Amino acid sequence: MTATIIDGKAVARAIHEEVRREAEELRARGTTPGLAVVLVGADPASVSYVTAKQKACEEDRIESFGHTLPADTSQEALLSLLAELRSDERVDGILVQLPLPRHLDEGTVLAAVPIEKDVDGFHAENLGKLGLREADARFAPCTPAGVIELLKRTDVQIEGANAVVLGRSKIVGLPAAMLLLRENATVTICHSRTRNLAEEIRRADILVAAIGRPHFVTADMVKDGAVVIDVGVNRVEDASKKRGFRLVGDCDFDAIREKARAITPVPGGVGPMTIAMLMKNTVRAARMRAELA
Ligand code: NAP
C-alpha cells in the first residue's frame, strides 16, 4: 500500500479562506475580529512565530494588536497588560507566545487570559472542559485541533478507531488525546515511561506522533493501513542544504508511506494547521462577542 499524502498546506489554505469570509461577514455586521499577540523577549523562533501569526491576521482580515515587551518584564507588568487586554473590546483573542522567560510563571500568566479570549486554548478551565467533554468547551489548543481537522477533512473515521498518541505534553499530546476521545476514538497515550512502546503503536488505526525525536517511529511499528499524523518537527544536519539542516518528523516518512493508508509530511503536514486553527478560534471568539452584543 502506498499512503495518501495528507496535504496540510492545502487544508490550511482552505481554512484561511473560510476564516477570511467569516471575518468579512462579521466586519459587515460591525464586529471587527481582533487578536492581541503578546511577546516577551526576542527569542528568534518566537519572533518568527509571532510575525507569521500577525501576517496571517492581516491576510484573514483579523485586526492584530502586537505587544512586544522586554525580556526582563516583571510578572506584574505582564499581568497588568493582560488585565488591560481583558477589558479591551477590540480584542477577541489573546495569545501569549510561549515559552516565557524563566522568571515568569507560565501557569499564572496563562490563567490571567480570560477563557472567552483564550484562543490558544491553554487556560486550565478550557483544557478541563475539553477533558470533561463538556459541551461549552470554547477553544481547543491549535495544534491538536489542527490534527483533528486534518483527519476530518481527509475523511478518516475517528469514531471507534484505536488512536495512539505518542507524547503527553500539555501543548500537543494530552489535548490531542482528549480531542480524539471527544470524537469517540479508543485512545492510548504513550510517553517516555511506556513499556512495549512498539507494541502499543502497532495497535494504532490512527497514530499521532508528538515526541520531538527524529524518525523515532519506524515502519515495523506501524500497522498496515494506519493513518499517521506526524506532529514532530526536528532539525537534522544536512550538508546539502544552505542552512546546514533539514526538518524531519518523528516518523520515518519514506518507509512508512509504503505501509500506511495516509500520512502527513514534515514540513507541510500539521505545521501550517496551527496558525490556521488560531485564526479559526479568533473569528469564533469574535462571533461569540457579536452574538452576545
Ligand atoms: P515536549 O513538551 O518535549 O513533550 C514530548 C513528549 O514526548 C513528552 O510527553 C515525553 O514523555 C514524550 N517522549 C519524549 N521522548 C520519548 C520517547 N523516546 N519515547 C516515548 N515518549 C517520549 O514536546 P511537544 O511540545 O509536545 O512537541 C512535540 C513535537 O511536536 C516537537 O517536535 C515539536 O517541535 C512539535 N510541535 C509541532 C507543532 C506544529 O507543527 N505546529 C506545534 C507544537 C509542537 P514524558 O512526558 O514522559 O517526558
User: Atom 31 in ligand 1: which residue has the minimum CA distance?
Assistant: 212
Annotation marks residue 230 as catalytic: no
| Same domain? 148 vs 84 | no
Mean pLDDT of the chain: 97
Domain that holds residue 73: 30-114
Ligand 1 atom having least distance to the Cα of 211: 7
How far does the centroid of ligand 1 lie from the alpha carbon of residue 46, in Å? 18
pLDDT of the residue at 135: 82
Tell me the pLDDT band of 293, cut-offs 50, 70 and 90: low
User: Exposed (0-12), middle (13-18) or buried (19+): which is 282, by Cβ within 10 Å?
Assistant: buried
Residue 77 has pLDDT above 80, yes or no: yes
Q: What's the pLDDT tens digit per position in 101-112? A: 999 999 999 999
User: What one-character-per-residue DSSP string does 173-198 give?
Assistant: HHHHHHHHHHTT-EEEEE-TT-SSHH
What is the average pLDDT across 9-31? 98
Cis preceding linkage at 267, omega within 30: yes
Tell me the pLDDT band of 1, cut-offs 50, 70 and 90: confident
Q: What's the pLDDT tens digit per position in 226-250? A: 999 999 999 999 999 999 999 999 9
Residue 21 lies in a domain: no
CB atoms within 10 A of CB 10: 12
CA angle 58, 267, 53 (to 5 degrees): 20
In angstroms, the CA 125 to CA 128 distance is: 5
How far does the centroid of ligand 1 lie from the alpha carbon of residue 215, in Å? 13
Residue 187 lies in a domain: yes
Annotation marks residue 53 as catalytic: yes
Ligand 1 atom having least distance to the Cα of 212: 32
Q: Which residues line ligand 1 (CB under 6 A)?
A: 143, 167-169, 171-173, 190-193, 197, 210-213, 231-234, 270-271, 274
In angstroms, the CA 20 to CA 42 distance is: 29
| Same domain? 267 vs 188 | yes
CATH of the domain at 49: 3.40.50.10860
Residue 152 lies in a domain: yes
Annotated catalytic residue within 60, 92, 118, 120 = 120
User: Exposed (0-12), middle (13-18) or buried (19+): which is 293, by Cβ within 10 Å?
Assistant: exposed
